[in-house]
Amino acid sequence: MQSLIPVVLSGGSGTRLWPLSRERYPKQLLSLVNKDSLLQATVRRLDGLTDVRIQAPMIVCNEEYRFVIAEQLRVIEKECSILLEPAGRNTAPALTLAALAAGRNDADPVLLVMPSDHVIVDIPAFQTSVRKGMAFAEEGAMVTFGITPDAPETGYGYIQAGEALKEQDAFGITRFVEKPGQATAQAYLDDGSYLWNSGIFMMRASIWLSAMEQCHPDILAACRAAWDQGSVDGDFLRVDKTAFMLCPSDSIDYAVMERLTEQRDVLPSGVVIPLSAGWSDVGAWDSLWHVLPKDETGNVVRGDVLLHECQNTLVISENRLVACVGVHDLAVIETPDAILVAHKDRTQDVKKIVDVLKRSGRAEVLLHRKIYRPWGWYDAVDAGERFQVKRIVVKPGAALSLQMHHHRAEHWVVVRGTAKVIRDDNSYLVSENESTYIPLGVRHRLENPGRLPLEMIEVQSGSYLGEDDIVRFDDKYGRNEG
C-alpha cells in the first residue's frame, strides 16, 4: 500500500469572519467550533485511520504565520513539515511545492489536500470517504470530494457526477460549474447529480506534477526553481523567494481540475466521491451559526453573554459582558478592540467593512490587540501620548531578541516567574514583584530561564512607540523584524 501525506493548505485570510479573523491571525488559527483551532482540527482529521499508512502532515503556509502555526502544532503534539511560501500565489503553486517536497528521494505518496479552515463534524464518515478515494488515487486518478447539497447554495461551485465507478458512491466527473444563481442552484439540487465543490483533493504527487506539466508548465517551472534553490531553516522548509515571486497565481480548480473533462486524452481521469460528513467552509458568521449547537430558541453563545427574549442569534464575547435584549437573527462579535453587529443574512458583506478598514489604514484589519511571537505573546493593554502598557508572557526557555530602541525607554515589572535581563554588559535576575529599567539606546534582552511562563508588565515611554523602533542584534528565531 502506498503511503498518504495530508497536505494542509493554510494561506486564507477569512475576511468575512472579521473581527475575530485578521490578516495576520486568520480564521484557520481560531478555535471556532471546539478547543482546537480549525488548523489543529484539520491536522487531527485522520487520527485513528489505522488501515492507511499515514506520514507526517505537511503544512503549506505564508511566512507570516510560521511561528504561531508551529506553536499550535506543538500544543497538540503533532510532528509536521512546514513549507513556507514567500508570498501568496493561490492553491495550485502551493500544492505543486508540496508535491515536489513529497517526491524527494524518488517517493510518490498519495497526497490528501485539505484547506486548513473548513469544519467537518462527522470524522468517521470523512475517513470512510478517504479510504474510497485512496483506492482510485493509487491507480492514478485525480480524486475530489463533493459535498451532498441540502440547499440551493449560490456561494459554492458545483461538480456534476457522471457514471458510477466500481461502487455506487464514486463517480466520474461530467463537469465543474461556477457559482450559480438562485434558480440554477435550485435546478442543480432538484437534479440530484450535482455536488458542492469542497476544495478537498487526492492524487499521487507524480500525477499532480504531470498534470501541471501539461496544463501550466510555467507554474511548475517557477515552483521547481524555487524548491531546488530553497533551504531548511530550523523547523521550516523555505523556498527561494526570488524564484517563487515569478510564479503565476492560479487555483487547483482552474489550473487542472476543470480541465479534466476537456482534455481526457492527456490528463488523468477524474473521480468525485460524495461526502456527507457535516462539512462547512465557515465562510461567514451565518455559516458558523449553522454548524454550532443551539439552545431551544436557536441562539449560539460563547463567552460572557446574557440574552433576554432573543432568537436565532450568534453572540461571541472575547473580553467583556455582552447583553442582548429582544433581538433575532443577529451576529454580535466582541473582541478587545472591535465589535461587529450584523444581520445573519448580511454577514457576507462583512468583507466590505474590511475593505474600508484597509483603505483607511486601520490596524484592526491586520492584528488583534494580543500579538503572538515565537517566544510567547504580548497584549497592548493601554496607550496614550508618549506611553504604552503591555502585558508580556514569555514561554519557558524562550528569549526575546537582543535589541535596542532609539525613541523609547522601558520599565519591566515581573508579575509571575523569574526574568533574566541582559542590559549592555550586565546580566541579572528579576523576581516576582521586582522591576527593572531599560534606558533609551541601551542594548537589552529578556529571557525566561525557568520552567513556568514568565508574566510581566512593560511600560514604554518616549517620543515614538511603534514596533518598528527595534534595532535587532541577535535573534534565536532568525527574525529580522517582528
- Do 247 and 331 lie in a common domain? no
* Residues 459 and 469 sit within 8 Å (Cβ to Cβ): no
CA distances from 213 to 176, 255, 459 (A): 21, 11, 56
- Do 314 and 414 lie in a common domain? no
List, for residues 9-24, the tens digit of each pLDDT value.
998 777 899 999 999 8
Counting the structural domains of the chain, the total is: 3
Q: How far is CA 468 from the centre of its chain?
A: 25
- Do 236 and 318 lie in a common domain? no
pLDDT of residue 481: 53
Domain finish residue from 280, 310, 336: 280
- Residue 289 belongs to a domain: no
- Taking residues 233-247, report their average pLDDT: 91
List, for residues 188-198, the tens digit of each pLDDT value.
999 999 999 99
pLDDT beyond 90 at 234: no
pLDDT of residue 233: 80
pLDDT of residue 1: 59
pLDDT of residue 265: 78
Question: Nearest Cα to 50, choosing from 116, 135, 130, 145?
Answer: 130
- Do 242 and 332 lie in a common domain? no
- Residue 145 belongs to a domain: yes
- Residue 107 belongs to a domain: yes
List, for residues 329-359, the tens digit of each pLDDT value.
999 999 999 999 999 999 999 999 999 999 9
- Do 356 and 374 lie in a common domain? no
List, for residues 111-127, the tens digit of each pLDDT value.
999 999 999 999 999 99
CA distances from 106 to 100, 101, 103, 225, 292 (A): 10, 10, 6, 18, 44
With the C-alpha atoms ordered 236, 240, 246, 248, is the resulting torsion angle positive or negative?
A: negative
- Residue 323 belongs to a domain: yes
- Do 250 and 130 lie in a common domain? yes
More confident residue, 429 or 168: 429
* Residues 447 and 398 sit within 8 Å (Cβ to Cβ): yes
- Do 304 and 390 lie in a common domain? no
Cβ-proximal residues to 425 (8 Å cutoff; 6+ apart), any chain:
none
Domain finish residue from 320, 335, 360: 360
- Do 375 and 356 lie in a common domain? no
The DSSP result for 252-287, as a single string, is: HHHHTGGGTTT-TTTS--EEEEEE-S-EE---SHHH
Domain encompassing residue 181? 4-280
- Do 67 and 189 lie in a common domain? yes
pLDDT beyond 50 at 25: yes
CA triplet 232, 243, 7: central angle to 5 degrees? 55
List, for residues 402-443, the tens digit of each pLDDT value.
999 999 999 999 999 999 999 999 999 999 999 999 999 999
pLDDT of residue 482: 47
Confidence of residue 247 (pLDDT cuts 50, 70, 90): very high
The DSSP result for 331-365, as a single string, is: EEEE-SS-EEEEEGGGGGGHHHHHHHHHHHT-GGG
pLDDT of residue 95: 97
- Residue 469 belongs to a domain: yes
**Percent with pLDDT over 90 in the chain:** 83
- Do 340 and 432 lie in a common domain? no
Question: Per this entry, what is the length of the chain?
Answer: 482
- Taking residues 464-474, report their average pLDDT: 92
Three-class SS state of 437: strand
- Taking residues 207-221, report their average pLDDT: 96
**Percent with pLDDT over 70 in the chain:** 99
- Do 348 and 431 lie in a common domain? no
Confidence of residue 155 (pLDDT cuts 50, 70, 90): confident
CA distances from 298 to 119, 315, 329, 330, 332 (A): 20, 12, 9, 11, 14
CATH number, position 275: 3.90.550.10
- Residue 481 belongs to a domain: no
Domain finish residue from 213, 248, 280: 280
pLDDT beyond 80 at 480: no
- Taking residues 365-390, report their average pLDDT: 92
- Taking residues 278-289, report their average pLDDT: 94
Give the chain's count of helices (H) and strands (E).
Answer: 11, 30
Given the DSSP bridges, would you call strands 110-115 and 4-10 parallel, antiparallel or unpaired?
parallel
First to last CA, the chain: 44
- Do 140 and 236 lie in a common domain? yes
pLDDT of residue 82: 96
